[in-house]
Amino acid sequence: MRRDNRNIKRIENKLEITATYKVNRSDELLEFLLKKCNTSRNNVKKLLSNHQVLVNGSVVTQFNLPLAKDDEIKISKNPVTDNNKKSDFIREKRKFYTFNVLYEDDDFIAIDKPHGLLSVESDKETECAFSYVLQYLQNKNKALRPFVLHRIDKETSGVLVFAKNTKIHSMLKLNWNEYVRVREYTAVVEGVMEEKNKTISSYLFENTNNLVYSSTNPNGQKAITHYTVLKQNPQYSLLKVNIDTGRKNQIRVHMQELGHPIVGDDKYGCTKNPFKRLGLHASKLEFIHPITKELISISAPVPGVFKGPFEKDKK
């Protein structure tokens, strides 16, 4: 196993999509498209060679690219070219993301995802970490691609892990929570915590405005969050947070429930934004390799800006 600190860079194009397909089981890209598109093999090959096929938001031309359950395939009306990407970048002034590979072996690749970047594409936004990692892997070997194991919020930075083959992906995807041992985050929240260590357990629901909220109703998704105060001052507290369950917005909702929302989180009640970003970082992920049973531990350095409010308190 080895570490790799090479940077990954990519600019995404604005697209006009004519068809979208969801993958239900493992397949190869060309064969999948032949089943879904009412057209000839030559026409499907032309779509691929013309850069009109996207897998999870990234252009793919490889006919035999392996697909996994839950991959999303889109067909663009027009070819997606490097020139188009460049002009879109200039016109829309999009961010040009760079980040480091934290860990890589034959089965996994982990990156330090920057804040502001989706883990995988959404209906409204195609630029995502998956696309960057796909480009990075295919620059080394066209037979390689990443497979999504988990996600972290767009505005959260830190450890994001992908599988590198269908076997590992299939073994982990359905039982990810059973293989994960540690999900550790670093958070900066408003105010002074009343308790230095605490566990919050509740059930989460999502309303029609896409806001997640906490409840005692057991019909929701159970969420368990543990925190420990690392540093504090009259304005902010720096926390180490561990979660037993990986629910959407879980930490953000639980901190709001305690009356100490995460800084920069106006979605969940915070009025302060000293970092010009969300004060939440996925600092460590540990999981069991499904075949070797080895414990794999991956850490991402805590952003220096998180420590800034507490440096002046040193004597």
- Per-residue pLDDT for the chain (315 aa), expressed as one digit of tens each? 444 444 444 333 456 889 999 999 889 999 999 999 989 999 999 999 999 999 988 888 889 999 998 899 999 988 886 444 433 332 333 456 777 999 999 999 999 999 999 998 887 777 889 989 998 998 898 889 999 999 999 999 999 999 999 999 999 988 898 999 999 999 999 999 999 999 999 999 999 888 999 999 999 999 999 999 999 999 999 999 999 988 999 999 999 999 999 999 999 999 999 999 999 999 999 999 999 999 999 999 999 999 999 986 554
121 and 194 share one domain: no
CA dist 174 and 183 (Å) reads 17
123 and 195 share one domain: no
> At 120, phi and psi to the nearest 5?
-135, 165
Say if pTM beats, i.e. exceeds, 0.85: no
222 and 192 share one domain: yes
What CATH number corresponds to the domain at position 201?
3.30.2350.10
113 and 237 share one domain: no
pLDDT of residue 84: 40
pLDDT of residue 23: 92
pLDDT of residue 313: 55
CA dist 143 and 62 (Å) reads 8
Position 114 in a domain: yes
Query: Which tokens is 95 given?
Result: 């961010």
Per the structure, how many domains does the chain have? 2
CA dist 171 and 141 (Å) reads 23
11 and 158 share one domain: yes
Give the containing element (helix H, strand E) for 226. Answer: strand 221-232
Position 140 in a domain: yes
CA dist 141 and 164 (Å) reads 12
Other C-beta atoms closer than 10 Å to the C-beta of 39 total 12
pLDDT of residue 14: 55
pLDDT of residue 92: 33
pLDDT of residue 91: 30
Whose CA is closest to 128, among 74, 191, 186? 74
54 and 85 share one domain: yes
Query: Which tokens is 223 given?
Result: 């969420």
Give me the sheet containing 72-76, strands edge to edge.
Answer: 17-22, 72-76, 53-55, 58-59
Position 1 in a domain: no
| DSSP line for 116-174 | T-BSS--SS---BHHHHHHHHHHHH-TT---EE-----TT-EEEEEEESSHHHHHHHHT
CA dist 56 and 248 (Å) reads 20
34 and 155 share one domain: yes
Catalytic positions: 153
CA dist 312 and 308 (Å) reads 8
Whose CA is closest to 164, among 49, 278, 276, 289? 289
Mark 178-206 as b/e (b = at least 16 C-beta within 10 Å). Answer: ebbeebbbbbbbbbebeeeeeebebbbee
